[in-house]
Structure 1
């Protein structure tokens, strides 16, 4: 089976360490899915290319022809990898603008891997106090391992806490979530109804 993975990167520069981290996470997730007998179809979304489109959406309430397919891709993804630079101890304004224009049900039940880059390791806490609650609010399924990359992480190779090890662990968790956890139904009005079929199956 082929799983659709959408990778949203909010880096502002070219080249961008945020995009580099996004690429490494998507490659590791593809490899993890192959290890589980599945294939990955990866779509990269660079938010800097849609900055004006996002502003137009905020002003008009409607996505233009360039932004609409991006929003559709995110809503239809089997999993999302979301990577942002950290500014002022939180996700970037560009990243938040993208989240603001998503349909409120777009990520319901979707496995999400959150990651970030920053100038100091002290900013890594933003993943837990900003990124994780944001996607929990959107009713996404955020994998346990969040990945933060500070400048000194890129060359570290000497312990299990290195960036490479964190990427591999997070990618494995996302692959497990994609292959083992069925996506939640998004039928209007039934978001909070338990899956009684699954509950009864566990009884036997």
Structure 2
């Protein structure tokens, strides 16, 4: 399992990088059966190439390698400091450039969002800035985000959030062959065949297949779409 940590920290040492490292370590611990290969992308080192990408349209060698690592990863851990109640400009510019060069790079990819700030009042950045950004990029954002304020370092609550978020990321990013339970009587990774496309014990009328444990309606059960103009004309009196 390949994980990439994207850290937008600017200082050295960086609390943003520290949070990314702790999340990566927790992800490794949560996947003993499928050890994670973790790579860290420090955006501070790519700042000049990111700026040049917007002026000449071409990514430099180091930035191209970072884009490739993100694209090939099974899951991402993204961490940004909070600037003006949102993610940093460097963080946004990196993913802007990625979306231009590889529009589908994050489609369906599990992403754990995290941020650091001086006060807990900035914790809403996770839900009001980071989640919308990665939802727009078609990524799958794990339920638990991690925000670390200055007073959180060394507190027990931060460790719990880190471990829970890491477990959620691993559950989504680990290869299906190692995470999906094997159904009795079937080969691993294959679904049992159901007669007439319905599950045993369920009503078959108007249903075909199962998605997420729920039967899905067949296409031919949907009402035919009638243009509004035709509906209006039918209501007008004739003669």
Runs of 4+ aligned residues of structure 1 deviating over 3 Å after TM superposition are 199-203
**Could you tell me how far apart the structure 1 residues matched to 2:43 and 2:151 are?**
25
Residue correspondences, number: 180
Q: CA deviation at 1:179?
A: 2.6
Greater mean alpha carbon deviation, residues 148-157 or residues 10-19? 148-157
1:16 corresponds to? 14
1:126 corresponds to? 125
Asked if 1:6 is matched to 2:7, the reply is no
CA contact (8 A) 2:9 2:43 kept: yes
CA contact (8 A) 2:74 2:174 kept: no
Report the structure number with the largest CA radius of gyration. 2
Deviations 1:55-95 (A, max 9, x none): 01111111111211110110110000000000100000110
Match of 2:172 among 160, 177, 180: 177
2:77 corresponds to? 81
Deviations 1:114-152 (A, max 9, x none): 000001000000110000000000000000000000010
2:135 corresponds to? 136
2:28 corresponds to? 30
2:220 corresponds to? none
Residues 1-204 of structure 1 aligned to structure 2 (within 5 Å):
3-34=1-32, 37-102=33-98, 103-157=102-156, 162-179=157-174, 200=209
3-state SS of paired residue (2:155) = coil
**Could you tell me how far apart the structure 2 residues matched to 1:125 and 1:9 are?**
19
1:187 corresponds to? none
CA contact (8 A) 2:53 2:60 kept: yes
CA gap of 1:75–1:180, structure 2 versus 1, over 3 A, is closer
3-state SS of paired residue (2:80) = strand
Q: CA deviation at 1:180?
A: 6.6
3-state SS of paired residue (2:105) = coil
Q: CA deviation at 1:156?
A: 1.3
3-state SS of paired residue (1:15) = coil
3-state SS of paired residue (1:39) = coil
Provide the aligned C-alpha RMSD in A: 1.8
Q: Which runs of 5+ in 1 are unaligned?
A: 183-196
Q: TM-score, normalised by structure 1?
A: 0.84
